[in-house]
Amino acid sequence: MVTSLPCDVLGEIFAHYALSEDLFHPLETLLLVSRFWHEAALIYGEIWATFNIEIGNYKSIHIWRTRVGRRLARVGPTRLLDITIRNVYSVPNHPSASDFLNGNRMNQKEPISNLSHNIYQVRHFMLDFLQDLNGRDGSLTWRWRSLHLYFGDHPWNYDRGSSSEVTRFSWKVLSYPTPALESLTLEYIETNGNDRRRRHPLLPFSPNLRTCTLSEYSFSFYPDISAAREVTIIHPRHLQNTTNRPRFKLGMAVEKLVLGLPFNGEWTLPQTLPQLRSIEVGKGGPQCNLEDLKAPHLTQATLRIQNAFFLPNTLLKVSFLSAVTHLTILDEASTLILPAPRLSISRILSAILSLVHLRTNEAALRGVLALVKDSRSPQTNPDGTFGDVDLSTCPFQLRRLRVSCVEFEGDAEISSDMDSWVAVFRILRASTLYTQNPDIAKMIEGLTSLS
C-alpha cells in the first residue's frame, strides 16, 4: 500500500499548482497539507522562484508585503527568479481590484481624488516590492530571468506644491546589471521630464535578453535590448522636451519585430537589421523609416488594420514588403467592406511579387475575395476594363497563391489564370477552406449571390 507520493511526482504536482495560484490559493497552501508535503515543498525550490504579484486593493498589498520576503528566503541563494508585478486596481472582477469594481460598491463611480490616492498607493508598493527583489545594492538582480512590470493605464502624478502623494518612477530599482535576464516587459512607464534622478542607466547590461516588450513607454531612456531577438514596441511616447524622436535602439540580433506606432510623427529604426525575418505592423501603420530598411532575410509580415488610416500609410511605404513570401492581413476595423480600402489592399498585394501564402482573418478574407470577384466578374467589368481594379492591379497577377484564414482550418489556391469569377468560385468550392468551414462556405456563396 502506497502511503506517500514519490518526490518527483510531488514536484510535478507542485509545479502544476504554481501555474494556477492566485491571491487566495497561494503556494503556501501546500505547506499545510501534511508534514511530508511541507518538507517536500521547501526542498522543491523552483516553485518559490516565480513571483506573480498582482495588487490592487489594500488586502492584496498587505498579503504580498509578508509573502515576498518569505519566498525569497525559501528559494535559495542561487536559483534564477521570474518576476511579474501587475497593477490590477482597475481590472473588473479581479479579486484584488478596487472596491468600486468588486463587492458592494461596484455600481458607484469612484471619485477622482480617491482614484488618484489609491493608484498612488498601488504603484508605491509595486516599486517597494521591486526594491525587495533587487536585494541590497542590486545583489539579486543577477538572478532575474524574467521581469514583467505592468503599471496600469492611469496618469502618473508628479510634484504639485506641498502634495506628498507623488508617484514618481524610481529608475534606481532598474539600474543594476541583469546578466541572466531573458524576457522583459515594461508597460506604462512615464517619467517626469525634469526628473534629474534619471541619470541612472536603465537595465544597462542584459546580454542574454531574448524577448522584450515596451508598451506605453516614454522613450527617453532605453534598457539594453541589443541582444533581443523578439522586440515589441506598442504606442511609444516621448517626453515633451525631446526635440527629435529617438532612434529605436535595436540590436543586430532582432529576428521578429512588432510595431504599433502612433500618428504623431516618424520614428527611426536602424537602417540595417540583418537577422530580421518577421515584422508585424499595427496602430497607425509604418510610422517609421521602413522603406529604407535593409533586411535581406525578411520573409514574413503581418498587417494589423486597426483604423481607416492604416492602409494609406502602408501603401506609401509598401516597398518594405517587396520580398515577403508569407503575408497575414488582419482587418480588425472592418475597413475592407468599402471599395477604397480594397483598392489599397490590391495595390499592396500586387507590389509583392514573391508572395506565396496569404493568411487573413474572416473580415479580411471577405474583402480580398470580393476584390478578386470584382476583377474577374463580367457583371462588374463587362468590357474587361476592370474599373477601379484593372488587370495590372489584380492582387494575384501572374502567380499562384495559397489563401488561408487564421480562425479556420483548410486553404484555397487562387491564381491569375482563373479568368472569370466562375472559375475562381469553382476552385473555392472544391477547396478545404470551403468544405471544412460552413461559415466560410456561406460567406463565399454570399459573394456569388451578389454577382
More confident residue, 436 or 388: 436
Q: With pLDDT > 90 as the criterion, what percentage of the chain qualifies?
A: 34
Q: Flag the least confident range among 171-175, 375-379, 398-402.
A: 375-379
Cα 378 from Cα 179, distance rounded (Å): 64
| Composition of the chain by helix, strand, coil, percent to 5 | 35, 20, 45
Closest CA to 409 of 428, 436, 429, 431: 436
In eight-state DSSP terms, residue 265 is S
**pLDDT of 169 higher than 70:** no
Does position 393 have pLDDT exceeding 60, yes or no?
Answer: no
Phi, psi of 180 (to 5 degrees): -100, 0
Write the pLDDT tens digit of every residue in 42-88.
777 788 899 999 998 888 888 899 899 999 998 989 999 999 999 98
Return the sign of the alpha-carbon dihedral for residues 286, 291, 294, 296.
positive
**In the 8-state DSSP scheme, what is residue 102?**
S
Name which residue leads in pLDDT, 37 or 101: 37
pLDDT for 84-119, tens place per residue?
999 988 777 777 777 655 555 555 566 666 666 677
Q: Name every residue whose Cβ is closer than 8 Å to that of residue 365 and which is 6 or more positions away in sequence.
A: 403, 405, 440, 443
Q: What is the pLDDT of residue 162?
A: 41
pLDDT at res. 241: 45
User: What is the mean pLDDT of the segment spanning 132-150?
Assistant: 94
Q: How far apart are CA 389 and CA 363, in angstroms?
A: 20
The cell for 411 is 486553404
Q: Which segments of 76-135 does DSSP mark as H helices, in order?
A: 112-134
pLDDT band at 145 (very low <50, low <70, confident <90, very high): very high
Q: What's the pLDDT band for 188 if we cut at 50, 70, 90?
A: confident
Mean pLDDT of the chain: 81
pLDDT for residue 273: 95
Q: Between residues 245 and 31, which one has the greater pLDDT?
A: 31
Mean pLDDT of the region 265-273: 84
What local confidence, expressed as pLDDT, does residue 113 receive?
61
For the record, the C-alpha cell of 298 comes out as: 525578411
152 beta partners:
none
pLDDT recorded at residue 300: 97
Highest-confidence segment of 5-19, 151-165, 334-348: 334-348
Instruction: Give backbone dihedrals phi and psi of 328, rounded to 5 degrees, phi first.
Output: -115, 130
Angle, CA of 166, 170 and 176, to the nearest 5° = 170
pLDDT of residue 82: 96
- The Cα–Cα gap between 411 and 433 comes to 4
Q: What is the pLDDT, as a whole number, of residue 387?
A: 39
Task: Render pLDDT for 352-367 as a digit per residue (tens, 0 to 9).
Answer: 888 899 999 999 999 8
What confidence category does residue 383 fall into, taking pLDDT thresholds of 50, 70 and 90?
A: very low
**pLDDT winner (highest mean) among 91-105, 127-141, 178-192:** 127-141
Query: Does residue 271 surpass a pLDDT of 80?
Result: yes
Query: What was the pLDDT predicted at 208?
Result: 97
Q: Helix (H, G, I), strand (E, B), or coil: what is residue 364?
A: helix
> Is pLDDT of 156 > 80?
no
Distance between CA 307 and CA 107 in Å, rounded? 32
The stretch 24-30 carries a mean pLDDT of 81
**Strand pairing category for 411-415 and 400-405:** antiparallel
Separation between Cα atoms, residue 395 and residue 400, nearest integer Å: 11
So what's the pLDDT on residue 219? 61
Average pLDDT for residues 399-424, to the nearest whole number?
Answer: 82
Is residue 1 predicted with pLDDT exceeding 50?
no
Q: Residue 146: count other Cβ atoms within 10 Å of its Cβ.
A: 19
Rounded average pLDDT over 331-335: 93
